[in-house]
Chain A
Amino acid sequence: MAFQYIPNIAVKGMAACVPKKIEDNRELSLFETEDDRNKFIQATGILKRHTVKGSDLCASDLCFQAAETLLAEIGWERSEIGYLIFVSQTPDYIFPATACILQNRLGLSQECYAMDISLGCSGWVYGLTTIASLLSSSVNMKKGLLLVGDTTTITKSPKDKSTYPLFGDAGTATAVQYEEGSIGLKIHAATDGSSHKAIMIPDGGFRNFFSSDSLVEHEIEPGIVRNSLQSILDGPGVFTFGITKAPKSISGVLEYFDIKIDAIDYLVLHQANKMMNEKIRKKLKIEPEKVPYSLPEYGNTSSSSIPLTMVSQLCYPLRFRHNVIVACGFGVGLSWASVILETNKIVCPPVIEI
């Protein structure tokens, strides 16, 4: 297993932003029967989702607003921010990197290391690892902004009941600082590219260019109709993957760094669906009180689900207490990663809606 220990790193603040528009699964006409709808809601735990549909908002806009709110409260000088990482699978353009655009929009110094990372569900943990490593090796810049967000609702076919009612949009900002004496991060990260087709958009990249065929709808099975620019999700395959890999990754990192599961205040899981997350929680034998959910209100928000869950569900403990937190992201790639971090009275404004 690939483990990392990055000492002297502290998360100093977090913020999250979602689009105002809400879609309610209780009102969606996609389900054939009421029984189907109820079963879906019971299994996934997803009542409603925020979506950028009908607006021109991108993931970068949601992250930008989260970052602005965070910076206003945290009191950092923008010139002090030496690192900007944008994690997303829904960037503004094929190129340039959205991080470059955000460097300018946020008024950060040109002396700023900025780049995109293309990951989804595991993205916040990978992004945190990357920015922490950069800050650790920096000679003179001690502050970094990790912007993680996705607008996956526009990548789902409205005629696909296997994907459409699951996903919501959000953008988040995490302020990370190099600080002598901070406990830092303990990380496990892993990849299984053999299953890369389990969650994917087949066309529109450079393997399969966009063509008129990309827009042709295919009926995969009744209730699952999509074109090749819309996202595939192999539910059972990803479920099998999640309930196997996530618990192993979490218990693996805890064991490797000799931390007892009882010493953990919160386990923050990527918000896949309730059935899968509850399986993972039960396997780890962690009390439900320690495992927050943002699924009912926001759905699966891809890369932003871990920070959005922290901001929306743990705002009070994050602001006023010291916490030992384990976060685990798992999904598209397939890619998964767990991090153990400690937070101490960090900046955490309530979720912003735009």
Chain B
Amino acid sequence: MEEKFIKAFKEALELEDRTIDLTDTFRDYEEWDSLGHLSLIAILDEEFGVVIEQAEFNKLNTVGELMVEVKKRMA
């Protein structure tokens, strides 16, 4: 799961060449912008069948928190 999640996450934000840590605050990435955000929403829906409401999404800060939320919603 973690590997698949990181792969999807990197693809959405075009971070393929980077090392991602679960403690990273994803909004601090230089690559984080509104289109990246939309790509992330789309890829989480496509790969995991998960759509996180905007209000809930705004509470998430780190890559790890996002992954936990996706896992929770898949269950």
Contacts and interface: CB of A to CB of B under 8 A. Distances in A.
Interface in B25-68: 34-35, 37-39, 41-42, 45-46, 51-54, 57
B46 to A, nearest CB: 8
A279 B54 CA distance: 18
A243 B41 CA distance: 9
A236 B54 contact: yes
Interface residues of A, number: 17
A240 B40 CA distance: 11
Q: How large is the interface on B (under 10, 10 to 19, 20 to 34, 35 or more residues)?
A: 10 to 19
Q: Which of A39, A195, A240 has the most CB of B within 10 A?
A: A240
A239 interface: yes
B54 A43 contact: no
B38 A244 contact: no
Main SS at interface, chain A: helix
Given A39-B35, A40-B35, A243 B42 contact: yes
A96 interface: no
Interface in A195-223: 195, 198
A353 interface: no
B38 A43 contact: yes
Given A240-B51, A240-B52, A243-B51, A235 B34 contact: yes
Contact of A279 (B35, B45, B53, B57): B45
A101 B42 CA distance: 44
A198 B45 CA distance: 20
A236 B27 CA distance: 14
Contact of B51 (A39, A43, A244): A244
A237 interface: yes
A223 B64 CA distance: 29
Contacts of A237: 54
Instruction: Name which of B35, B38, B42 has the most chain A CB atoms within 10 A of its CB.
Output: B38
Interface string A216-257: 000000000000000000111101100110000000000000
A162 B35 CA distance: 10
Contacts of B42: 239, 243, 275, 279
Closest 7 CB pairs of A and B: A237-B54, A236-B37, A239-B38, A244-B51, A43-B35, A235-B34, A240-B41
